[in-house]
Amino acid sequence: MSGTDSPPPNMSTAISADQHGPLVTIATCLSLIGMFLFLLIRLAIRWPWKQLLGADDYCTIGASVSLLSSFIVDPRLILTV
How far apart, in Å, are the Cα atoms of 5 and each of 11, 12, 26, 32? 17, 21, 29, 32
Query: Mind listing the pLDDT tens digit for each residue in 15-28?
Result: 777 777 778 878 88
Low-confidence ranges of the chain (pLDDT < 50): 81
| Residue burial 51-60, b: 16+ Cβ < 10 Å; e: rest | eeeeeeeeeb
Checking 46-51 for CB contacts under 8 A at 24+ apart, the result is none
Identify residue 10 by its one-letter amino acid code: N
The alpha carbon torsion through 77, 71, 33, 28 (nearest 10 deg) reads 10
Q: Which pLDDT belongs to residue 34?
A: 93
